[in-house]
Structure 1
């Protein structure tokens, strides 16, 4: 199933329309980049492996938004900065394997910091307000997780517990809001969150516990 999002009014309104009626669902417009990075050292071999230990470019977090600052260690002469994979919004869970993808023109400012203490990791600094429409005024969004759908999955492995949490939430939202299973799954892929509730260091019980969360605020 392919979902085509209309991005024409997103900057003006601060949200994307997931469904216009029965029920009406708005998703917050939070543009971000999925890929930004520098060339690794040594250069990767082909075909590329998803298990590479040197993948600074595959950031894929929703906090790399307008106004944020990212610091990357330079490992090759020339650095070879790469930017790609823009999203109109992105769920940390990305349960569908994709988010709200979009084409984008990105304006950045690059500074080379020489003679500084080397660091091996990527750092990101995020501003308090990240959405700025054409009028240069911050958008007030109504999206809050003070009230939300939540479903806890408990099983022997992290993957199984995640499947239970996701499946349970999708079925509940589908039944209560009149969405198809696929629509509920795609909505979670856009704005839902997954988090582990149990202590990873505590294996005495032999169970993993994962919570899935979807805010009520998207239903307008």
Structure 2
């Protein structure tokens, strides 16, 4: 029978800022073992529930996206798959979203937002109802997931934890929630699994560079699978919808989207995001900073069309169900 293991955020030797296959494992587990993690947030807990916008210029991006691990999984060999099952994900009582200073250059429109801002979220008061309040009249569903989930690279050396890779890493995929399964292609003996960067909610794209960042308690099952050569990058499986989830989706209020059209996919994405920000300012009366942060935690960037050259179409869409009261409805 596989054992359970715990990884504490208070032990600094359990935290690393680079993927490196030379890192010494903090635990060795058998396939099928459960590992619980007490995780720092994606900003290395530099912001707390009492932080203000005055603290943002002091943010050190070099400490960003800390990963907890690595975990050596017995039986994992190059060519195998590491199956990662997300059993439980629990946020802290608070979270944060920031527009980081332009000098850091973080976010899809970082060059257009040279200032800084910070939103501290209350993740406790309405936890039972499943949402948090952006501002009165705007509710954001809480859907916890981990931004950083990955294993060691095949090549020697250090690799930043900030980008995503074929071995996982900072994949920031909001669909890999509790009940989901992630499949990662093993490149080194033992896989060397690490995770971190808890999010309470995020839009596809994480457009301002931050989601609702929060410390997270996570319980994960790690299993080795063989004979799946088609998994050459992270693949994932989401859980089946419950009747309640289907009912909620069907009764949704639709979405509002802005299309960005350009011969460059990145520029098309920037245009789409600008369009949604302009709509939120003009139609809903939000400030420019509020609009940028709201888009990052609730709006989805989607490739609407990619084959009709020379231009691409990207949609930045926002579910209207987040608007629950005056003056927004």
TM-score when scaled to structure 2?
0.56
| 1:28-47 correspondence to structure 2 within 5 Å | 28-45=141-158
* Corresponding residue pairs, total: 206
Q: Distance in 1 between matches of 2:222 and 2:235?
A: 15
TM-score when scaled to structure 1?
0.81
Q: Distance in 1 between matches of 2:132 and 2:210?
A: 16
1:153-198 Cα offsets, whole Å, 9 max, x none, are 2234223322222112111111221211111111111110122233
Aligned counterpart for 2:194 among listed residues 57, 61, 82: 82
Q: Distance in 1 between matches of 2:219 and 2:148?
A: 14
SS at 1:5 equivalent:
strand
For residue 108 of structure 1, what is the aligned residue in structure 2?
A: 220
Q: Distance in 2 between matches of 1:33 and 1:99?
A: 11
- 1:144·1:217 contact (CA, 8 Å) conserved in 2? no
Structure with higher strand content? 2
Q: Distance in 2 between matches of 1:52 and 1:16?
A: 28
Q: Distance in 1 between matches of 2:128 and 2:300?
A: 26
SS at 1:36 equivalent:
strand
Aligned counterpart for 1:3 among listed residues 91, 104, 119: 119
SS at 1:18 equivalent:
strand
Aligned counterpart for 1:15 among listed residues 128, 131, 135: 131
Distance 1:195 1:169, change over 3 A: same
- 2:149·2:171 contact (CA, 8 Å) conserved in 1? yes
For residue 133 of structure 1, what is the aligned residue in structure 2?
A: none
SS at 2:270 equivalent:
helix
User: Over the residues paired in the alignment, what is the CA RMSD in angstroms?
Assistant: 2.7
Q: Distance in 1 between matches of 2:173 and 2:305?
A: 23
Structure 1: 5+ residue stretches without partners? 131-136
